[in-house]
Structure 1
């Protein structure tokens, strides 16, 4: 569930509020791709900091860590909620960056398709011509040496194994059946 601006104002400092405000609906569309990447970097740093504070606070509650600092300022009382605010802002920035990337890719593909259509309409050959379908060899074919080695099995032994199996099966079939 997204947080209200009032909740953001209560939990974040003034600078953090200004940063998170730029990720909301009308303001986020004013950023370019480079600005969104910089915003993403800053939000990740803030989110990771809050995650570290949250983990440390949980360790304090369990008694596994010493308290951090002399006293927490008022803004650090709710590191879990602050982390969620930064994560939501980061999610909005990621969605906008992927939307801009899709729009850019769509424009590039459209430009290529329009250029190909224009070339096709003018009748220009912009591709290599297809090879001729004739089966004739090149004018001066050179024989290629056989790279496979010769067989090491003499020809008289090629079928000897399977013939031996046939003879053994025939001998077994000719034996009388054992008494039951």
Structure 2
């Protein structure tokens, strides 16, 4: 349960109150993250000290433990309330640090998403060169990789002429075997 600021002021010393004051609502937003990080161990140390004093007082009250040391500090009679004040301050600091961390992460994610969207949009639109007259040779025939066979015209005529002559000899003999197939 939250504790009013006036009650906190009555429980704490001036230095402790100045530390705690920075953890309250309007002032915590003006504190830098590095200062909050430095404040966290101090608050933990204060809370742990008060928790120890509170537990010792409870043990003494139940008769389970003897008094530690010669005397307790003057603030020891309200140790549990002081512990609650420091614990609440620590909780506020942790919550603010978490909020700042999430804000930084969200900002980084938004920037990454915007960059990815820009890259995606840039990939969709191809930049074509302008259509204008260019000094170009045009299409060039590509040489065939097959070996070229050169046959002279005389050789072509000789083969076809020998076929004609062989057919004429068969026809003159009256050999009909070639035409009956």
TM over 0.5: yes
TM-score, with length taken from structure 1: 0.65
What corresponds to 2:28 in structure 1? Answer: 28
SS of the equivalent of 1:83 reads helix
Give distance in 2, aligned partners of 1:8 and 1:89.
11
TM-score, normalised to structure 2, is 0.64
**Gap regions ≥5 residues in structure 2:** 125-181
Aligned residue in 1 for 2:49:
49
Q: Give how far 1:108 is off.
A: 0.4
State the Cα RMSD in Å: 1.4
- Cα deviation for residue 18 of structure 1 reads 0.5
Q: Is the 1:13–1:75 contact (alpha carbons within 8 Å) kept by the matching residues of 2?
A: no
Measured against aligned partners, the alpha-carbon deviations of 1:130-156 in whole angstroms (never above 9, x if no partner) come to: xxxxxxxxxxxxxxxxxxxxxxxxxxx
* 1:71-109, Cα deviation, whole Å (9 max, x unpaired): 434322110000000011111111111110110010000
Tell me the CA shift for residue 68 of structure 1: 3.0
Kindly state the Cα deviation for residue 46 of structure 1 after the two structures are TM-superposed: 0.5
1:112 alignment partner in structure 2: 112
2-side partners of 1:73 and 1:50: how far apart?
11
Question: Is 2:28 aligned against 1:61?
Answer: no
User: Which is greater in Rg?
Assistant: 2
Is this contact kept in 1: 2:50–2:80, CA < 8 A? Answer: yes
How far has the Cα of 1:37 moved from its partner? 1.4
Q: Is the 8 A contact 2:54 2:76 kept in 1?
A: no
Aligned equivalent of 1:72: 72
Task: State how far apart, in whole Å, the 1-side matches of 2:115 and 2:98 are.
Answer: 26
